Structure 1
Amino acid sequence: MAKDNLKPTGRKGVFFIEHPTRRNGVRKDRQLVLRYTIDGKTRKEVFGWETEGKTAVDAERKILELRANAKSGEGVTSLAEEKALREAKEKARQAAAKREAQRNTTLADYFNGDYLEAARTNKKPRTVGSEKALFEKWINPVMGHKPIREILPLDFQRLQKTVLKGDKRKDAKTGKDGFVARSPRTVHYCVSIVTQIWNMAFDNGVVDIQPPRRKKLNLPMIDNERTRAFTPEQAEKFFTEMKQRSVQWHDISMLSLLAGLRASEIFRLEIKDLDEERGMIFLKTPKKQKSQRLVLGEAALSLLARLKENHPTGKGLFFTNSKGHQIAEVSDTVQRVIDHLGFNAGITDRRDRLTFHSWRHTYATWMLDSGVDIYTVNQLLRHSSLKMTERYVHPQEQKLRLAAGGIESSFKNNGSEKAG
């Protein structure tokens, strides 16, 4: 903007430049320019075009305003400062609007967006498909439309009621409409999906509150007690077969058996968590959300020491998936081997089926069968109550009956002697 091109408007400090072609009524459009001095510094700034509604009077008033601000020490003292302040306010407004929009993100929007995108990366296709089906059938109609932050325990109760009521079906014999109830387990699956979505939204700053604790939701009880453990013969066959299929899953299964660890605990286990000198491992995030140290037996310690020695980097996770990331789920290979060996043949009750988690059950069962007291097993399993450990006592029931039978024999013998 050359000084020679500026023409005076008749207003103090206000000049203009004519547009070469564009007109404003009968004359050429004018770009108004301010030239003023504040604190010894002369500025030349574009005020705007007359076709944009700018006038020389407004331009002169702006100069007076800027000088008054400089004199009072408050407010902007140039058009550049005013523009920067305006842009900063607009940026803040947009950020606030974005935050508010995030806060109002509905459960369905987040599930169909970020949650499913992450799930497709971290979970098996079958698991993702199951979660989508449960969400669309049960969760979405009840609370999918609600902003996550507005979901209440009452909504979980409505979800529970809807699921337990079941599917609407027409009776084949009577032709009347009725309902086929769903199990409490389905309720727990649905609640688990909702809390996973909510927790992910919380972790990513979409909402600022966490989901209610399951204890407060009054969910229906599930009879989830498994009643079977591997026999030593079955264990030997399993590990022989599994070693041929996958060395890593052989070692993971073996560690679960030797240390009574849950799959999730093994997946999170890092090299630094092993204390070989003390014969312990450090569990950062076990089920109870409390960091704990677990004493290991010689076999488990030897297994981990070998894995550490053969680890490619000597740091990080003991076990990873094919991409080098933390394992998310138990491989289908484990169940295929169990079923291939016929361990579940003829078993109809799912609680009696052997699965990966049965290794933890087997750990407890074999401990008790070998004479370890239930209080020690309770500590090794890290159960919050003795009642949880008592689930594993059933293999000893025959021994207890025999012991009780001994009392009966003594009673009968004494009775016979007296009768004689």
Structure 2
Amino acid sequence: MVCNRYPWVRFRKHRSRRHGVGYDRYFAIHYRLNGHRKDEGIGWASEGWTPRKVALELATLKRNQLTGDGPQTLKEARTIARKQRQDEEIKRARIVRDQVTFDEFFRTVYFPLAVLNKKPASMKAEKQYYRKWIKDAIGSKPFKRISPIDLERLKRRMLQAGRAPRTIEIAFAVIRQVWNDARRHGMIEGESPTKRVKIKLNDNRRVRFLSRTEAKRFLDALKRRSLKTYWMAFISLYTGMRFGEIAALTWQQIDIDDGLIHVADSKGRNRSSP
């Protein structure tokens, strides 16, 4: 049926559903675009549509057709509106995501998943490092607001507390693991700021050999305390074998005739020490 006051507006009545004093009506518009007839439904009176509102919607489309600006069909207008809603939803989701703090992610996502894949001892250590050092430093901050400066402050605080560089390195490793997990979950982009903070580790390499006099004094002192330790140190000093290799020795590895000790699977290969 055609509305008397708005000839381009049509409607049909619902068979049973009533709205107000009469039956509910579904409105549609009829117009021509580029020489082609267009019939597009708009909505029900029970959804708030009236003949006048439908006519105004059609007038807007006709104006857009004349100016070339904006949607020129209802389908196009709905597509644009749907895209705008999707963009708004993405924007809202991004705002919510950007507000998630390091602590919230650690407690609700990282830790519950990590305990399924890591050893209990490892998770206990990570939790201790987090509670003692990391949480106070960056826990309340969203990922996007965590900077190398925050980690420099954490490093300084740990050094002032007498912690070794190796301890700081472990704490930073926990931060890096949480950060990488957050990146996999789409919470943040970019690398962990721990990569931009340098930690000077102590050089634990041997810088000199014991002299013969020092070696003798060392062995004599051990011999008075523990004969077993004395012999292990003796073998280590004269062969260069490591503790693990000495502790794992069996009689089958001792070649008395040639004066050799055969070390099995030492750094991926077998070797012999005189």
Q: TM-score, normalised by structure 1?
A: 0.46
Confirm or deny that 1:18 pairs with 2:13.
yes
Map Cα deviations across residues 9-48 of structure 1 (whole Å, 9 max, x no partner): 5312112233423322x34433222222222332332222
Q: How many angstroms apart in 1 are the aligned matches of 2:24 and 2:184?
A: 55
Q: How far off is 1:68 after superposition? A: 3.0
Cα 1:233/1:10, change in 2 over 3 Å: closer
Q: How many angstroms apart in 2 are the aligned matches of 1:78 and 1:52?
A: 20
Aligned to 2:260: none
Give the secondary-structure state (helix, strand or coil) at the position aligned to 1:57. Answer: helix
Aligned to 2:229: none
Q: Which has the larger radius of gyration?
A: 2
Aligned to 2:118: 123
* Unaligned 5+ runs, structure 1: 1-5, 167-180, 241-252, 259-298, 301-362, 371-420
Map Cα deviations across residues 247-304 of structure 1 (whole Å, 9 max, x no partner): xxxxxx94x714xxxxxxxxxxxxxxxxxxxxxxxxxxxxxxxxxxxxxxxx59xxxx
How many positions carry a matched residue from both structures? 229
Confirm or deny that 1:209 pairs with 2:197.
no
Confirm or deny that 1:257 pairs with 2:267.
yes
Tell me which moved more, 56-65 or 69-78: 69-78
Q: Is the 8 A contact 2:183 2:189 kept in 1?
A: yes
Aligned to 1:235: 245
Q: How many angstroms apart in 2 are the aligned matches of 1:7 and 1:211?
A: 65
Map Cα deviations across residues 335-378 of structure 1 (whole Å, 9 max, x no partner): xxxxxxxxxxxxxxxxxxxxxxxxxxxx9xx9xx99xxxxxxxx
Confirm or deny that 1:192 pairs with 2:192.
no
Aligned to 2:204: 225
Q: How many angstroms apart in 2 are the aligned matches of 1:239 and 1:113?
A: 48
Q: How many angstroms apart in 1 are the aligned matches of 2:243 and 2:159?
A: 41
Aligned to 2:83: 88
Q: How many angstroms apart in 2 are the aligned matches of 1:238 and 1:158?
A: 45
- List aligned pairs for 1:36-115, cutoff 5 A: 36-115=31-110
Give the secondary-structure state (helix, strand or coil) at the position aligned to 1:8. Answer: coil
Map Cα deviations across residues 319-344 of structure 1 (whole Å, 9 max, x no partner): xxxxxxxxxxxxxxxxxxxxxxxxxx
Q: Is the 8 A contact 1:9 1:15 kept in 2?
A: no
Q: How far off is 1:163 after superposition? A: 4.6
Give the secondary-structure state (helix, strand or coil) at the position aligned to 2:197. Answer: helix
Letter matched to residue 24 of structure 2? D
Provide the alpha-carbon RMSD of the alignment.
Answer: 3.7
Q: How many angstroms apart in 2 are the aligned matches of 1:119 and 1:163?
A: 25
Cα 1:58/1:157, change in 2 over 3 Å: same
Give the secondary-structure state (helix, strand or coil) at the position aligned to 1:51. Answer: helix
- List aligned pairs for 1:239-318, cutoff 5 A: 254=265, 257-258=267-268
Cα 1:128/1:226, change in 2 over 3 Å: farther
Q: Is the 8 A contact 1:14 1:56 kept in 2?
A: yes
Cα 1:162/1:233, change in 2 over 3 Å: closer
Cα 1:9/1:194, change in 2 over 3 Å: farther
Residue from 136, 142, 146 that aligns with 2:141:
146
Q: TM-score, normalised by structure 2?
A: 0.66
Q: How far off is 1:131 after superposition? A: 1.1
Q: How far off is 1:150 after superposition? A: 0.8
Percent identity among equivalent residues?
25
Give the secondary-structure state (helix, strand or coil) at the position aligned to 2:193. Answer: coil
Letter matched to residue 145 of structure 1? S
Q: How far off is 1:56 after superposition? A: 1.2
The structure richer in strand per residue is 2
Confirm or deny that 1:132 pairs with 2:127.
yes
Letter matched to residue 190 of structure 2? I
Q: How many angstroms apart in 2 are the aligned matches of 1:50 and 1:187?
A: 68
Q: How far off is 1:145 after superposition? A: 1.3
Aligned to 1:246: none
Aligned to 1:352: none
